[in-house]
Amino acid sequence: MNLTSPFSLALWTIVGLSLLGVPVGQAMIGGSILYLYLKGMDMGTVAEQLLNGTYSSFLLLAIPLFILAATIMSSGSVMDRLMRFCNALVGHFPGGLAQVNVLQSLVFASMSGSALADAAGSGKLMQVMMTRDNRYTAGFAAALTAASSVIGPILPPSIPMVLYALVSGTSIGYLFLAGVLPGLLLGGVQMGLVHYLAKKRRFPVEPRVPLRELPRITREAFAALMLPVVLLGCLYTGVTTPTEAAGLAAGYALLISVLLYRSIGWRDLYDALLSSARVSISIGMLIAGALVFNYVITVENIPASLSGVLATFDLSPLGFLLLVNLILLALGCFLEGSTIILVIIPVLLPTAAALGVDPVHFGVVAVLNIMMGLCTPPYGLLLFMMTRIANISLMELVREMVPFLVVMVGALALVTLWPDMVLFLPRLAGYSG
C-alpha cells in the first residue's frame, strides 16, 4: 500500500488525532475530510453521508432509549433489590459472592446492554462487597467483574447487536434471541470456573438465606426482573418495533422506579437524563464518524478487494469464521468495540455473505469476539476501568484475568463451531436461516 496515498494519509490522520486525545468519531470525520480534499471530491459529501446515515435509520433511536432505561434502573433501590435476589439464589454456593457477581451480570444484562456500563455500575458495587474484610483479593474481584461484564452485551437488549443490525441489515429481534444461549453459556463457564477456584483457594461461602425469606426477596425484585420479559414479549409478539420496545423499556423502568419502588426523585431523574444524554452523544458521534469513514472505504473498494484476497485462500465458511475470530480478538486488544463493529465488520460482511455464513450467527460470533477484546491486554478498556476502580496494577489484574480468558475462548469456540446453538431460538421465532 502506498503510504502517501490519500487513503493512507487519512488513516495516519485518524491514528494521529486519536493519539492526541481526540475522540475516535471526530478523528474519523477529520481523516475522511482530508481524504475527500486530497481526492478533489465534494466536501459536502461528509455532511450528506452523516445526515443520510443518522436520519434514515429509525433503529438508532433504540440506543439512547436502552441507555436511559439502564440508567433509571441503576438508580435508587432497584440494584439493591436485585443484588439481594442474586445472593439468595447462589450466595451459599462455593465462592458465594463471586457467584453472585456472575449472576448479577446475567440479571443486569437486561438493563444496560453495555459491558462498560455494567462494570461502572453494579460491578463497582461488587468490587467493594467482595474485597470487604479481605474475603477476596482485589485482583481476583476486579478480573471477575471485568469478565462477567462481557456477558451483558451478548444478552438482550444489546447495544453492540443494535450497531451490528445497523451495518448489516439483520433483524435486531433475531439477533437478540440468538444471543440468549451464548450469553447463558458464557455465564455458565464463568460460574464453573469460580466453583473450581473456590474449592482450590478456599473462598468464603455466604450464609444461606432462610427459605421463608425467598418469597419476600423475590417479590421485592419481581417488577425489575420483569423488564426483559416485557421488552422481549412486546418485540416478538409483533406489538412493537425494536425502537418502540426500547421506548417501552425506558417507560417501564421509570414507572416502577417512581411509582412502585419510589426510589428516585426529580433530581435523580434529571441526573439520569443528563447521564444518558452524555453517553448517547458519545456513541452518536462515533456512529457519525464511522458512517463518513465507511463512505471512504466504499470509494476505495476495500470490501471487494478484501473479498478477492480471501477468495485466493479458498476458505470454507468455518475457516473464514476462525480467521475472523483471530482478526477480531487481535483488533479488540487495541480498538474500542463500537469502532470495530462500525468500521471493520462492514468490510468482512461481503465475504461472509459470499461464503454462505449466516448473518445472525456471524453477528453473535463477532460481538462475542469484540466484547472479549474489552478485557484482553494490552489495551482492553475494561482492564483500564477496573484498575482504576480496584486501585491495583494492570499486571496483577491480567494475571488473575488469564483463567477467565481461557474459559471464554472455549465458549467462543463452541459458539463458532455449533451454529445451531446460536440459531435455535431465532428459528423457533420463525427465522429461516
The span from the CA of 99 to the CA of 198, in Å, is 10
Pairwise pLDDT comparison (273 vs 67), residue with the higher score:
273
- Whether 122 has a pLDDT exceeding 90, the answer reads no
Position 150 pLDDT exceeds 70: yes
53 touches 166 (CB < 8 A): no
Report how far residue 191's alpha carbon sits from residue 297's, in angstroms, rounded to the nearest whole number. 42
Residues near 262 by beta carbon (within 8 Å), at least 6 away in sequence: none
Residue 332 clears pLDDT 90, i.e. is over it: no
Q: Per-residue pLDDT for 378 more than 70?
A: no
| Interatomic CA distance for residues 188 and 191, integer angstroms | 5
Residue type, 212: R
Residue pLDDT, tens place only, 83-101: 777 777 776 777 777 887 7
Least confident of 65-74, 182-191, 303-312, 393-402: 303-312
Residue type, 177: L
Q: What is the DSSP string of 330-393?
A: HHHTTS-HHHIIIIIHHHHHHHHHHTT--HHHHHHHHHHHHHHHTTSTTT-HHHHHHHHHHT--
Select the more confidently predicted residue: 2 or 430: 430
Is the pLDDT reported for residue 117 higher than 70? no
Please give the grid coordinates belonging to residue 10.
487519512
Tell me which H or E stretch contains 141: helix 138-149
Using 50, 70 and 90 to split pLDDT, how confident is the model at 297? confident
CB within 8 Å of 258: residues ≥ 6 apart = 264, 269
How many Å apart are CA 49 and CA 203, to the nearest integer? 55
Higher pLDDT, 145 or 413: 413
pLDDT per position as a tens digit, 337-346: 777 888 888 8
Average pLDDT over residues 122-151: 77
Task: Write down the pLDDT at residue 109.
Answer: 63
The CA angle 162-150-217, to the nearest 5 degrees, is 100
Q: 132: left (phi > 0), else alpha (psi -120 to 50), else beta?
A: beta
pLDDT (average), residues 349-353: 87
State the SS3 of 113-124: CCHHHHHHCHHH
Mean pLDDT of 416-420: 92
pLDDT computed for residue 411 by the predictor: 93
Distance between CA atoms of 47 and 160, rounded to whole angstroms?
25
**What pLDDT, on a 0 to 100 scale, did the predictor assign at position 113?**
54
Higher per-residue confidence, 109 vs 129: 129
If you search the block for the grid coordinates 464463568, which residue do you land on? 190
Identify whether the C-beta of residue 17 lies closer than 8 Å to the C-beta of residue 31: yes
Q: Which three cell numbers stand for residue 273?
A: 437524563
Report the C-alpha gap between 291 and 287 in whole angstroms.
6
What mean pLDDT comes out for the span 264-273?
81
Asked if 385 and 123 touch (Cβ cutoff 8 Å), the reply is no
pLDDT band at 110, cuts 50/70/90?
Answer: low
> What pLDDT score was predicted for residue 52?
65
Q: Which residues touch 294 (CB under 8 Å, ≥6 apart)?
A: 49, 167, 342, 343, 346
Of the two residues 258 and 427, the one the predictor is more confident about is 427
What is the amino acid identity at position 83? M
Take residue 253 and report the three cell numbers written for it.
423502568
The arithmetic mean of pLDDT across residues 272-283, rounded, is 79
Percent of the chain with pLDDT over 90: 10
DSSP tag of 315? -
Q: How far is CA 363 from CA 345, 350, 399, in A?
A: 9, 13, 30
